[in-house]
Amino acid sequence: MKPQDIVIAFKIISKSAKSEIWTQNQIALELCMSPSEINAGLKRLQEAGLLTSSIGHQNSRIKHNLLCEFILHGIRYVFPAKLGELIRGIATGYAAPAFNNKIAIGNDPVPVWPFAEGNARGLAITPLYKSVPLSIAKYPDQLFYDMLSLVDAIRCGMARERNLAADLLKKILRDNK
Protein backbone atom coordinates (compact mmCIF):
# COMPACT_ATOMS: atom_id res chain seq x y z
CA MET A 1 0.00 0.00 0.00
CA LYS A 2 0.99 3.58 -0.67
CA PRO A 3 -0.69 6.67 0.80
CA GLN A 4 -2.22 7.63 -2.55
CA ASP A 5 -4.17 4.36 -2.49
CA ILE A 6 -6.29 5.76 0.35
CA VAL A 7 -6.87 8.91 -1.71
CA ILE A 8 -7.97 6.79 -4.67
CA ALA A 9 -10.28 4.71 -2.46
CA PHE A 10 -11.92 7.84 -1.03
CA LYS A 11 -12.51 9.28 -4.50
CA ILE A 12 -14.19 6.04 -5.59
CA ILE A 13 -16.35 6.06 -2.45
CA SER A 14 -17.34 9.67 -3.12
CA LYS A 15 -18.19 8.98 -6.75
CA SER A 16 -20.20 5.87 -5.80
CA ALA A 17 -22.08 7.77 -3.07
CA LYS A 18 -23.28 10.20 -5.74
CA SER A 19 -24.11 7.32 -8.10
CA GLU A 20 -21.57 8.71 -10.55
CA ILE A 21 -20.02 6.36 -13.06
CA TRP A 22 -16.26 6.54 -12.79
CA THR A 23 -13.37 5.50 -14.97
CA GLN A 24 -9.67 5.32 -14.22
CA ASN A 25 -9.09 8.32 -16.48
CA GLN A 26 -11.79 10.37 -14.70
CA ILE A 27 -10.31 9.50 -11.29
CA ALA A 28 -6.83 10.40 -12.58
CA LEU A 29 -8.06 13.76 -13.87
CA GLU A 30 -9.86 14.68 -10.64
CA LEU A 31 -6.99 13.54 -8.42
CA CYS A 32 -4.38 15.27 -10.60
CA MET A 33 -2.52 11.96 -10.95
CA SER A 34 -1.48 9.96 -13.97
CA PRO A 35 -3.69 7.12 -15.20
CA SER A 36 -0.83 4.69 -14.52
CA GLU A 37 -0.73 5.82 -10.86
CA ILE A 38 -4.46 5.15 -10.59
CA ASN A 39 -4.10 1.72 -12.20
CA ALA A 40 -1.24 0.77 -9.88
CA GLY A 41 -3.21 2.06 -6.87
CA LEU A 42 -6.27 0.03 -7.82
CA LYS A 43 -4.10 -3.09 -8.09
CA ARG A 44 -2.62 -2.45 -4.65
CA LEU A 45 -6.10 -1.88 -3.19
CA GLN A 46 -7.21 -5.20 -4.68
CA GLU A 47 -4.12 -7.02 -3.40
CA ALA A 48 -4.77 -5.62 0.08
CA GLY A 49 -8.35 -6.89 -0.09
CA LEU A 50 -9.85 -3.40 -0.02
CA LEU A 51 -11.29 -3.45 -3.57
CA THR A 52 -13.52 -6.02 -5.23
CA SER A 53 -12.00 -7.95 -8.09
CA SER A 54 -13.19 -6.02 -11.14
CA ILE A 55 -10.40 -3.43 -11.28
CA GLY A 56 -11.21 -0.29 -13.19
CA HIS A 57 -14.77 -1.33 -13.82
CA GLN A 58 -17.61 0.87 -12.61
CA ASN A 59 -18.89 -2.10 -10.58
CA SER A 60 -15.66 -2.21 -8.56
CA ARG A 61 -16.41 -1.45 -4.95
CA ILE A 62 -14.30 -0.40 -2.02
CA LYS A 63 -14.80 -2.68 0.97
CA HIS A 64 -15.81 0.05 3.43
CA ASN A 65 -15.53 -2.02 6.62
CA LEU A 66 -12.01 -3.22 5.84
CA LEU A 67 -10.86 0.23 4.74
CA CYS A 68 -12.28 1.71 7.94
CA GLU A 69 -10.50 -0.93 10.04
CA PHE A 70 -7.18 -0.14 8.34
CA ILE A 71 -7.60 3.61 8.80
CA LEU A 72 -8.69 3.43 12.43
CA HIS A 73 -6.02 0.99 13.54
CA GLY A 74 -3.08 1.46 11.22
CA ILE A 75 -2.91 4.64 9.22
CA ARG A 76 -1.25 6.79 11.87
CA TYR A 77 1.55 4.22 12.14
CA VAL A 78 1.94 3.41 8.45
CA PHE A 79 1.52 6.97 7.11
CA PRO A 80 2.27 9.24 10.10
CA ALA A 81 2.02 13.01 9.89
CA LYS A 82 3.60 15.80 11.88
CA LEU A 83 2.76 19.46 11.94
CA GLY A 84 5.37 21.63 10.27
CA GLU A 85 5.98 25.30 9.61
CA LEU A 86 3.45 28.14 9.53
CA ILE A 87 2.14 28.38 5.97
CA ARG A 88 -0.87 29.23 3.78
CA GLY A 89 -3.00 26.32 2.70
CA ILE A 90 -6.28 24.42 2.91
CA ALA A 91 -7.61 23.61 6.37
CA THR A 92 -7.52 19.94 7.32
CA GLY A 93 -7.82 17.81 10.43
CA TYR A 94 -9.92 19.36 13.19
CA ALA A 95 -9.99 22.71 11.33
CA ALA A 96 -11.80 21.33 8.27
CA PRO A 97 -15.56 21.58 7.66
CA ALA A 98 -16.05 17.91 8.67
CA PHE A 99 -15.51 19.07 12.27
CA ASN A 100 -17.83 22.07 11.94
CA ASN A 101 -19.05 23.10 15.43
CA LYS A 102 -17.68 19.90 16.99
CA ILE A 103 -14.35 21.26 18.23
CA ALA A 104 -13.73 24.82 19.32
CA ILE A 105 -10.82 26.28 17.41
CA GLY A 106 -8.82 28.65 19.57
CA ASN A 107 -6.11 31.06 18.50
CA ASP A 108 -3.51 28.37 17.85
CA PRO A 109 -2.51 27.75 14.23
CA VAL A 110 -4.62 25.03 12.59
CA PRO A 111 -3.36 22.16 10.42
CA VAL A 112 -3.32 22.95 6.69
CA TRP A 113 -2.23 21.26 3.50
CA PRO A 114 0.35 23.60 1.93
CA PHE A 115 -1.27 25.39 -1.00
CA ALA A 116 -0.42 28.92 -2.14
CA GLU A 117 -4.03 29.66 -3.10
CA GLY A 118 -5.47 28.25 0.14
CA ASN A 119 -7.80 30.25 2.36
CA ALA A 120 -6.29 29.31 5.73
CA ARG A 121 -3.04 29.94 7.52
CA GLY A 122 -1.65 27.33 9.84
CA LEU A 123 0.84 24.57 10.43
CA ALA A 124 1.74 22.49 7.39
CA ILE A 125 0.78 18.84 7.30
CA THR A 126 1.86 16.71 4.37
CA PRO A 127 -1.26 15.31 2.67
CA LEU A 128 -1.50 11.61 1.87
CA TYR A 129 -0.55 12.53 -1.69
CA LYS A 130 1.05 15.69 -3.03
CA SER A 131 -1.79 16.53 -5.44
CA VAL A 132 -4.56 16.48 -2.80
CA PRO A 133 -4.69 20.28 -2.26
CA LEU A 134 -4.81 20.96 -6.01
CA SER A 135 -7.47 18.28 -6.48
CA ILE A 136 -9.63 19.76 -3.69
CA ALA A 137 -9.26 23.28 -5.13
CA LYS A 138 -9.78 22.34 -8.77
CA TYR A 139 -12.51 19.69 -8.39
CA PRO A 140 -14.46 20.49 -5.20
CA ASP A 141 -15.95 17.36 -3.62
CA GLN A 142 -17.10 17.83 -0.04
CA LEU A 143 -17.39 14.14 0.86
CA PHE A 144 -13.90 13.45 -0.48
CA TYR A 145 -12.50 16.47 1.41
CA ASP A 146 -14.25 15.41 4.62
CA MET A 147 -12.83 11.89 4.50
CA LEU A 148 -9.28 13.12 3.87
CA SER A 149 -9.55 15.70 6.66
CA LEU A 150 -10.80 13.09 9.11
CA VAL A 151 -7.88 10.83 8.21
CA ASP A 152 -5.49 13.72 8.90
CA ALA A 153 -7.07 14.17 12.34
CA ILE A 154 -6.46 10.47 12.96
CA ARG A 155 -2.88 10.73 11.66
CA CYS A 156 -1.75 13.66 13.77
CA GLY A 157 -4.51 14.79 16.13
CA MET A 158 -4.73 14.56 19.89
CA ALA A 159 -6.74 11.71 21.45
CA ARG A 160 -10.02 13.67 21.52
CA GLU A 161 -9.67 14.72 17.88
CA ARG A 162 -8.71 11.19 16.80
CA ASN A 163 -11.71 9.67 18.58
CA LEU A 164 -14.14 12.19 17.12
CA ALA A 165 -12.61 11.77 13.65
CA ALA A 166 -12.93 7.98 13.95
CA ASP A 167 -16.63 8.26 14.86
CA LEU A 168 -17.32 10.70 12.02
CA LEU A 169 -15.41 8.61 9.47
CA LYS A 170 -17.23 5.41 10.53
CA LYS A 171 -20.53 7.22 10.01
CA ILE A 172 -19.53 8.53 6.59
CA LEU A 173 -18.35 5.11 5.43
CA ARG A 174 -21.45 3.38 6.84
CA ASP A 175 -23.83 5.92 5.24
CA ASN A 176 -22.14 5.80 1.82
CA LYS A 177 -21.91 2.07 1.11
What's residue 30's pLDDT?
97
| Segment 107-141, tens digit of pLDDT | 889 999 999 999 999 999 999 999 999 999 999 99
For the chain, domains (ranges, CATH) are 3-78 (1.10.10.10), 86-175 (no CATH)
Q: What gap in Å lies between CA 63 and CA 49, rounded to an integer?
A: 8
What gap in Å lies between CA 154 and CA 73, rounded to an integer? 10
Mean predicted confidence (pLDDT) in 148-173: 93
Rounded to an integer, what distance in angstroms lies between the CA atom of residue 121 and that of residue 115?
10
Please, are residues 22 and 42 in contact by the beta-carbon 8 Å criterion?
Answer: no
| pTM beyond 0.75 | yes
For 17-27, what is the mean pLDDT? 90
Tell the burial category of 19 from Cβ atoms under 10 Å away from its Cβ (0-12, 13-18, 19+). Answer: exposed
Cα(11)–Cα(26) distance, integer angstroms: 10
